[in-house]
Structure 1
Amino acid sequence: MFHDLQIENRYLIETLKKLIRINSVLPHEQKLAEFIADEIRSFGIEPEWHEIAPGRPNVYASTEPGSSDRFMVFSGHSDTVPPAGDWESDPFEPLEKDGRIYGLGAINMKSGLACMLAAFKAIVEAKELHARLGRLGIAVTVDQEGYSTGARAFLKTEYAECGAMLHAEHFYGDSEKDYLPIAVTGKILYKLTVRGKAAHAFRPHLGGVNAIGDAAAIINNLHRLKLREHRLFGKGTVCTLKIDGGYKEYSIVVPELCEVIITRLTVPGETVDIAINDMKELIDLLDLRSDVVVEAKPPCYEPYTLDEDDQLVFLFKEIYRRKIGVVPCFTGHRGIVDANVFFGEGKIPTIVFGPKGGRHHCAGEYVELDSLIPVAQIYTETALQYLLSK
């Protein structure tokens, strides 16, 4: 049974424009959080304010549960990256043109937040259904563009007890190019501390152990690092980001210390612990004279794969097909989203789905207007179908 609750198009569009006008470049999310909280209050629900750091609050709210014990959460992030320098219009003033709205965060992810609010509002106002529904929550978190501290703080709240989540990130799913993630890579940021032994650099053979030389040996052998295969991704990737060693003031001394930062995308089946052991095994093979400490440096994320037979996925696919007219295209995503935290760490089944648009993190970021109502309708119907289930 489909309910087809009405989504208020004018509310959705005006809310999106208001969100774009609020500067929420990380780490300055508070004004946007205040706007979200005020909107939720206007629905007759008092939001919860969870300050992760000074001026960086998560906002949560939920409906009162009815007879079902189901619990679903709509989630999204409040922060954006800084505006690129080549915007031709004001990035904080929404520009509606040719079926699109342009502005910083238009697709990543203020349009998703607007759809979440419109869907949440529609369900809150459908009072005739409340007695049969489970609990519906909404969570707007900080710092997705940074370290995902907001998402990790969410996991420490009772909202993390939900059984399903719709995360409003910018994946639309109507083609192989604009797919929905069924699996997402993880990430480890290695910190290697290479400790050699100082000696006079004119006579390095007399007791010196060059930490930079041994660090270079590790970097030059990263192609030998064990990377496992996955059916959706093939192998992950590895890349050196930073090398820091040697003198601060010029001196003729064999470098005794070098620090190396290396990023690695991991595939499902490769945990942070496994990746640490892989690096240690590579270093052991090289028989270096330096001592090397291998650590994981924040941010790190676990990869995940969503079970295609999960009830949430089954319900979503049918509702999506009915609303969009095609079967959603699920595949693997090479990258990181907050769902790595919600599902990879918190084990909350999470579908990542949001409006259609482009140029996120770039000048001219936009969302396609005709994708907004279908997204909000899919959020609404998926929540109702899930929350009415026993």
Structure 2
Amino acid sequence: MEICKEDLDEIKRRIMEFISVRSIVGEEFEGAKYLTELMRDWGFKPELQKVEENRYNVICRVRLGDVGRRLLLNGHMDTVPPSMDWNVDPFKPFIDDDRLYGLGAIDMKSGLITLLYSLKKFIEENEGGVNGEIIYSAVVDEEGYSKGAKKLVSELDYDAAIIGEPYDGIDSSVVIGETGKILLSIECIGKAAHAFRPWIGVNAIEEASKLILKIVEEGTFEDERFGRIQPTTLKIEGGYKIYNVTLPEKCIFEVNILTKPEQTDEYFINWINELAKKIGLKGGISVKIKEPRYYGYITNENSMIVKAFKKAFEEEYGFKPKIGFKATITDGNIIAMKGAKPLIVYGLRGGNAHMANEYLELKSIEKTCKVYIKTMKNYLKTEEE
């Protein structure tokens, strides 16, 4: 299997075209339109899946034989808004040395193009002996609430997945497990009193402050799989709307926490209530879970997709890939369905995701393509356990 100069030139050209198309989260319509046209150019039959008004996932399916496994290739077409400190136009990609710069260059327009081209090459070079279906999906809203991925899995059957995010197995571990994420809205109820005599009432802001410190203190730890996990307070509201010297009787704050796969919603509600008791919190407390909620997952390293990938990677590079877990969330959290669907997160090399001067390392394209192609072949050929 060869990825020649013409292949690489085509991939680079298409990545640069795609970067030039604005598809900021919430505004992905032109990105979906571009991918639909590209699929047709490359011989696929695209399907549009409506997520919201003017927001569409783009899907294509390739059937190889009547039976076999169903492999999902997935990535997101949306980008974050460009940060203020870009020193060039983020929508005008350019190449400097081995780096291709532009918004979405590594997160993850290059991943989508490379996955799709790999599927194209796999079909062209398929000599039989494989059975199953490969489903390619480009989704919206990964940088938001994962609405695209949620819509996708609600209507799609698949057995395993490859998410094309930039974890290359060399500089960064290929991900087979991710934390989840919970957003807690916690309301502390105090008792109003004159602010000159605060001992008569209960200051809800001060009580909330004590609880926040306790949450961070007891919720920070090193996990042997995921590394450091630490809660973060994202928002706090309390006190007067119109200035007056009355003790604040209500304070609401929101805490973001990365979660281990085994931790349930009930665990966190009970934990917060126990912490309130532990510090002798005055007044009342209410704990609610807000969207977006993501659940952690772990893919078994002996699953077919992991074995198919490891074999492909070792054939191509001559050494074993780094494989591990990540304290993060991606659409993989949705697609893994709490671990029910095995998947890997593997892709290109680059840097500055969500930052100015985001870039792709062009030299990573060729081997990543080859690993994708060999993984597809291995997965669809592998005998049942």
TM-score interval for Structure 1 and Structure 2 normalised by the shorter chain: over 0.9
Matching residue of 1:196: 190
Question: 1:116 and 1:324 mapped to 2: Cα distance?
Answer: 19
Of the three residues 163, 173, 178, the one matched with 1:184 is: 178
* Equivalent residues of 1:224, 1:282 under 8 A apart: no
Counterparts of 2:126 and 2:343, CA distance in 1: 26
Q: What letter corresponds to residue 102 of structure 2 in structure 1? A: G
Quick one: which amino acid aligns to residue 79 of structure 2?
T
Aligned residue runs from structure 1 range 21-170, under 5 A: 21-126=20-125, 128-129=127-128, 132-158=130-156, 161-170=157-166
User: 2: distance between equivalents of 1:315 and 1:115?
Assistant: 19
TM-score normalised by structure 2 residue count: 0.92
Q: What is the alpha-carbon distance in structure 2 between the residues aligned to residue 346 and residue 156 of structure 1?
A: 16
Instruction: Provide the C-alpha distance between the structure 2 equivalents of 1:217 and 1:74, rounded to a whole number of angstroms.
Output: 46
2:21 and 2:228 mapped to 1: Cα distance?
40
Match of 1:281 among 261, 271, 274: 274
Shift of 1:252: 2.2
Task: Answer yes or no: is the 8 Å Cα contact 1:185–1:267 preserved in 2.
Answer: yes
Kindly indicate whether the alpha-carbon contact (under 8 Å) linking 1:198 and 1:254 is maintained by their aligned counterparts in 2: yes
Structure 1 residues 272 and 65: CA distance shift in structure 2, 3 A:
farther
Aligned to 1:244: 237
Cα distance in 1 for partners of 2:228, 2:337 equals 19
AA in 2 matched with 1:217: K
The structure 1 segments of at least 4 consecutive aligned residues displaced by more than 6 Å after TM superposition are none
Picking from 350, 370, 375, the partner of 2:368 is: 375
Question: 1:212/1:262 Cα in 2 relative to 1: closer, same or farther (>3 Å)?
Answer: same
Residues 183, 304 of structure 1: 8 Å contact kept: yes
Equivalent residues in 2 for 1:337-376 (5 A)?
337-345=330-338, 347-376=340-369
- Write the deviation string for residues 54-107 of structure 1: whole angstroms up to 9, x where unpaired: 222111111134133210011000111111222222211111121221111111
Please give the alpha-carbon distance, in whole angstroms, between the structure 1 residues aligned to 2:322 and 2:55.
35
Aligned to 1:326: 319
Conservation of the 8 A alpha-carbon contact between 1:228 and 1:270:
no
Structure 1 residue 344: deviation in Å?
4.8
Q: Residue 180 of structure 2 contacts residue 261 of structure 2 at CA under 8 Å; is this kept in 1?
A: yes
Aligned-pair distance for 1:277? 2.2
Deviation (angstroms), 1:133: 2.4
Instruction: Tell whether the 8 Å contact from 1:80 to 1:105 is kept in structure 2 after alignment.
Output: yes
Superposed, 1:187-336 pairs within 5 Å as 187-206=181-200, 208-223=201-216, 225=218, 230-234=223-227, 236-336=229-329
Tell me by how many angstroms 1:224 deviates: 5.1
C-alpha separation in 1, matches of 2:101 and 2:165: 17
Residue 386 of structure 1 pairs with residue 382 of structure 2: no
How many residues align structurally? 381
Per-residue CA deviations over 1:353-373 (Å, capped at 9, x if unaligned) read 111111111222111111112
One-letter amino acid of the counterpart of residue 142, structure 2: Q
Task: From the superposition, tell whether residues 338 and 349 of structure 1 become closer, same or farther in structure 2 (CA, over 3 Å).
Answer: same
- Structure 1 residues 335 and 300: alpha-carbon distance in aligned structure 2, compared to 1, 3 A threshold: same
CA shift for structure 1 position 346: 6.5
CA distance in 2, matches of 1:363, 1:224: 33
Residue 86 of structure 2 aligns with an amino acid whose one-letter code is W
Say whether the 8 Å CA contact 2:297–2:339 is kept in structure 1: no
Q: 1:198 to 1:27 in 2, by over 3 A?
A: same
Letter in 1 for 2:26: P
2-structure distance, mates of 1:16, 1:234: 34
Given residue 174 of structure 2, which amino acid in structure 1 is its aligned partner? Answer: L
CA separation in 2, counterparts of 1:274 and 1:65?
45
Cα distance in 1, alignment partners of residues 212 and 49 from structure 2: 42
Of 31-40 and 84-93, the range deviating more from structure 2? 84-93
Indicate the residue corresponding to 1:173 in structure 2: 169
Q: Contact 1:62 / 1:136 at 8 angstroms: preserved in 2?
A: yes
Q: For residues 61 and 280 of structure 1, what CA distance do their matches in structure 2 show?
A: 48
Separation (CA, whole Å) in 1 of partners of 2:352 and 2:378: 33
Task: Give the TM-score, by structure 1 length.
Answer: 0.91
Q: 1:174 touches 1:327 (CA, 8 Å); kept in 2?
A: no
Secondary structure at 1:104's aligned position in 2?
coil
